Amino acid sequence: MPAQVPAQVTTAPGGPHVRIVTTDGTIVVVLDPQHAPKTTANFLRYVDRGFYNGGTFFRAIPGFVIQGGNKTRERPSDPKLELETPLRTGLRNTDGAISMARTPDPNSATSEFFLCDGDQATLDGSMSEPGYAAFGHVTSGMDVVRKIVQQPTNDEMLVAPVKIVAIERVKG
């Protein structure tokens, strides 16, 4: 008998909020440590050490995602993250979801992340594809996501990457 897929859950508003300050504006996301504890902890570890400051959103596909991180600061010793698949967490890759990027290896995510531009059910996984770990949702700044995704690209890579000035926890 196939495993039960949990119903879609909504990110709880009481989770940690993170501000993504870019040269194109500010995006605020709420994270969900209740449903995606490992992924949330991994992302906050990078946030708390200032890892993303000075990084970029470097990839944009309209109607799909913008992807960011700080490739120049990644280290071979950065631990790989065990996938918390949407098939188990119930957190879906809906419009405004924040999720971890990875290689074809499901347990290969480190620091790169993406924000969904529109609902991306194909990223939620299936019996043969584990999906991409959603772990929060944009609460303000979707206009900035839409602005970034419309920037000129060359083979999905932004011609002029959008600088991430800082990613920081929102206090209070």
Q: How confident is the model over 113-135, as pLDDT tens digits?
A: 999 999 999 999 998 999 999 99
In terms of residue numbers, what domain contains 134? 17-169
Is residue 140 in a domain? Answer: yes
CATH number at residue 156: 2.40.100.10
CA–CA separation, 66 and 54 (whole Å): 17
pLDDT at residue 23 in the model? 98
DSSP structure class, residue 127:
S
Q: What is the mean pLDDT of the chain?
A: 92
Is residue 160 in a domain? Answer: yes
Q: How many structural domains comprise the chain?
A: 1
User: Structure pTM?
Assistant: 0.92
Closest to 113 in 3D by CA, of 6, 12, 15, 36? 36
Q: What is the pLDDT of residues 24-76, one digit of tens each?
A: 999 999 999 999 999 999 999 999 999 999 999 999 999 999 999 987 777 76
